[in-house]
Amino acid sequence: HYSVRLLSSTTGINPRAAAPSATAVENDGSFPDTDMVPTPKVIIDQDSDPDATVVEITFGDRLGALLDTMNALKSLGLNVTKANVYLDSSGKHNKFCITKASTGRKVEEPELLEAIRLTIINNLLEFHPESSSQLAMGATFGAEPPKVTVDVDIATRIRVHDDGPDRSLLHVETADHPGLLVELVKTITDINVAVESGEFDTEGLLAKAKFHVSYKGKALIKPLQQVLANSLRYYLRRPTTEEASF
């Protein structure tokens, strides 16, 4: 279960990656700027493995061995092992299994999950600067901001439905920004809804979350589903977000 002891900001996250080490093998330099830049994707999966947080990174066929990304994650106090690499029509998928070094268990704290997400995106921006124009984070941390912006009112979609008698499934799609994962979980738990597990995808300018949620061990009744959707919609569409806190 996610921890409900949430901080008001994700402290300790450096928005700028360390300088590339001499052993960096992320980018082989073979991709000219004129190439069509693929959409970067980062998936944080809490569902598929009961003992580890699974992270998947895709950026067309441009990713190298990601050794520096693994080392950056280890600096957060994590054990990181490469699960597998596979190719499909969308490119090269790199999967990692992550556990906390202190406990050997999967990561459950929203703040640390957000730190993992920002660390991976930060390294993408560092080693693949061409990804900056494809990522929402490029406007904050990258060399080149996205050429288009997402209207949060249009982009935001929220759905809640039953997923058995003991839990409901919440889907959220919205414009991405730093600290979003933490704020989503905080907004949910502030109305006493428990977040049990889920998946958080960063896909270019958008974030797509899927959370299993419950209230007192049961699926959410329809009125509470509406309260949850309204609370999230209010947070996501309010005119200002204190991104500088993250």
pLDDT digits (tens, 9 = 90+) for 166-219: 999 999 999 999 999 999 999 999 999 999 999 999 999 999 999 999 999 999
| Tokens standing for residue 224 | 């509470």
What is the SS3 string spanning the chain?
Answer: CCCCCCCCCCCCCCCCCCCCCCCCCCCCCCCCCCCCCCCCEEEEECCCCCCCEEEEEEECECCCCCHHHHHHHHCCCEEEEEEEEEEECCEEEEEEEEEECCCCCCCCCHHHHHHHHHHHHHHHHHHCHHHHHHCCCHHHHCCCCCCCCCCHHHHCEEEEEECCCCCEEEEEEEECCCCHHHHHHHHHHCCCCEEEEEEEEEECCEEEEEEEEEECCECCCHHHHHHHHHHHHHHHHCCCCCHHHC
pLDDT of 143: 75
pLDDT of 35: 59
Most confident option among 10-24, 75-89, 179-193: 179-193
Residues in contact with 216: Cβ distance below 8 Å, sequence separation at least 6, in sequence order: none
pLDDT of 239: 47
pLDDT of 150: 87
pLDDT greater than 50 at residue 34? no
7 vs 128 pLDDT, higher one: 128
What average pLDDT does the segment 18-43 reach? 56
What average pLDDT is seen over the chain? 84
Q: What domains can you pick out in the chain, each with its CATH number?
A: 41-141 (3.30.70.260), 152-237 (3.30.70.260)
pLDDT of 29: 40
pLDDT of 97: 97
pLDDT of 246: 36
Residues in contact with 36: Cβ distance below 8 Å, sequence separation at least 6, in sequence order: none
Most confident option among 2-11, 144-153, 228-237: 228-237
What average pLDDT does the segment 211-240 reach? 92
pLDDT greater than 90 at residue 72? yes
pLDDT digits (tens, 9 = 90+) for 108-150: 999 999 999 999 999 999 999 999 999 998 887 777 888 888 8
pLDDT of 142: 74
